[in-house]
Amino acid sequence: MTIEILVTKPKKLIILAALGAAVLAGSLLTFRGSETYAQEAKPAKAAPSVPVSVATVVQQSVPVRIQAIGNVEAYATVALKARVDGQIVTVNFKEGQEVKKGAALFKIDSRPFEATLRQAEANLMRDTAQKEQTLSQEKRYKELLEKNFVSKEAYAQIRTNADSAGASALASKAAVENAKLQLEYCTIHSPIDGFVGKVMLQMGNMVKANDTNPLVIINQVRPIYVNFAVPEQHLSAIRGYMNKAQLAVEALPPNSDKPAVPGTLSFIDNAVDTTTGTIKLKAVFPNKDNALWPGQFVGTSLRLYDQKEALVVPSQSVQTGPKGQYVYLVKPDMTTELRIVEVDRNDGENAIIAKGVQKGEQVVVKGQLRLAPGLKVVIAKPAEKK
């Protein structure tokens, strides 16, 4: 019995020690688990508000326009040619220079024509003297005929000579006028106001009357035309509004930092181009500052009428998604709402909304990529202008 008790006590002690260690380990695990739960149970921090830029939906009168690409055309173009043969002795302008109507541009050697004029004037003097003599003779013969001192046949001959001398005098006078005209043609004047181009024949060259190649080309640019074409479905509207009032047209050269040039529609072609389905139009512009230049391509805008009380937002506020075009609205509680909209058309930097927004609502124009419906936003202040 004694030996059995001695053997059993160490075993009990070992078992008790193992149980104590297990309880201690469980307590530690329980404490750490509760600490971890407490940490996880702390509330998460709220997401920061997204900074955005906004614009207010406005209701205003907006012009209805038709946009097109146009080509500038000179109001008048003159290919200047010589009317007489001769040698160019003077060129009185520089290439590209602006010239006035009547300005002397070229001078052709006039000495041969001056000699021809002097000869024609001498012939006129001779024929005029002969005319006076035959008229005087005819007068005397008429008096003699009345007194029956000469026959009628003799008087008729004298009368014929007088008429012939008068005709010769008229021919000589016409020759003098023609010689003067030829002499005037030796100086070539500008028939219009405009800008001259490249000189085809320089001083010293021989020219021929009405030669194939012109001496220089002059373009009138004030006023100036712009040709453009629009789809044929706009034809009836354009004709209708043009019958009521003159239609305004604006032209803007590419990469221009100046405002658009104003003009008016002046011409509608008499037939639709069947190959392109477009109708050709022409507008005239005063072009006082030479902003438009012949041959230049420009953006044109034909104004038909003004749409009253149109809802307008910046074009950059309109986004495109799977369900169509939409905008982000900022509600009074500074949260966002995604609103599907129907865009009627774009006019420059503005979009005209047909359906989806109301006057006074605020739309996001910058920062849409970070937004989602219901997110909090903060309106960023615009940068101060220096």
Nearest to 71 by CA among 231, 251, 278: 251
Residue keyed to tokens 């000469």: 150
In whole angstroms, give the CA distance from residue 358 to residue 341. Answer: 11
Nearest to 265 by CA among 294, 296, 234, 289: 234
Hey, which residues does 104 pair with through a beta bridge? 189
Q: How far is CA 225 from CA 141, 217, 230, 247, in A?
A: 70, 17, 16, 15
Please report which helix (H) or strand (E) contains residue 94, including its range: none
In whole angstroms, give the CA distance from residue 350 to residue 338. Answer: 19
In whole angstroms, give the CA distance from residue 187 to residue 223. Answer: 27
> In terms of C-beta density within 10 A (0-12 exposed, 13-18 middle, 19 or more buried), how is residue 47 classed?
exposed
Q: What is the pLDDT along the chain (386 residues), one digit of tens a residue?
A: 344 444 444 444 444 455 555 544 554 444 454 444 444 445 545 567 889 999 999 999 999 999 999 999 999 999 999 999 999 999 999 999 999 999 999 999 999 999 999 999 999 999 999 999 999 998 888 888 888 888 888 889 989 999 999 999 999 999 999 999 999 999 999 999 999 999 999 999 999 999 999 999 999 999 999 999 999 999 999 999 999 999 999 999 988 888 999 999 999 999 999 999 999 999 999 999 999 999 999 999 999 999 999 999 999 999 999 989 999 999 999 999 999 999 998 888 899 999 999 999 999 999 888 888 999 999 986 544 44
Type of residue found at 204: G
> Hey, what are 56's tokens?
């207010």
**CA 369, 381, 378: angle at the middle one, nearest 5?**
50
Residue 148 φ/ψ, nearest 5 degrees:
60, 30
3-state secondary structure of 92: coil
Rg for the chain (alpha carbons), in Å?
Answer: 49
- Cα dihedral 235/237/238/244 (nearest 10): 140
Q: Which domains does the chain have, with CATH numbers?
A: 52-62+309-379 (2.40.420.20), 66-73+222-307 (2.40.30.170), 82-109+186-213 (2.40.50.100), 111-184 (1.10.287.470)
In whole angstroms, give the CA distance from residue 295 to residue 356. Answer: 44
For the stretch 168-205, pLDDT in tens is 999 999 999 999 999 999 999 999 999 999 999 999 99
C-beta of residue 321 within 8 angstroms of C-beta of residue 100: no
pTM of the model: 0.72
Does residue 20 come out as left (phi exceeding 0), alpha (psi in the -120 to 50 range) or beta?
Answer: alpha
Q: How far apart are the first and last CA of the chain?
A: 106
DSSP string, 191-224: SSSEEE---SS-TT-EE-TT-SS-SEEEEEEEEE
Sequence-separated (6 or more) residues with CB below 8 Å from residue 199: 91, 95, 215, 216
**CA 186, 191, 196: angle at the middle one, nearest 5?**
90
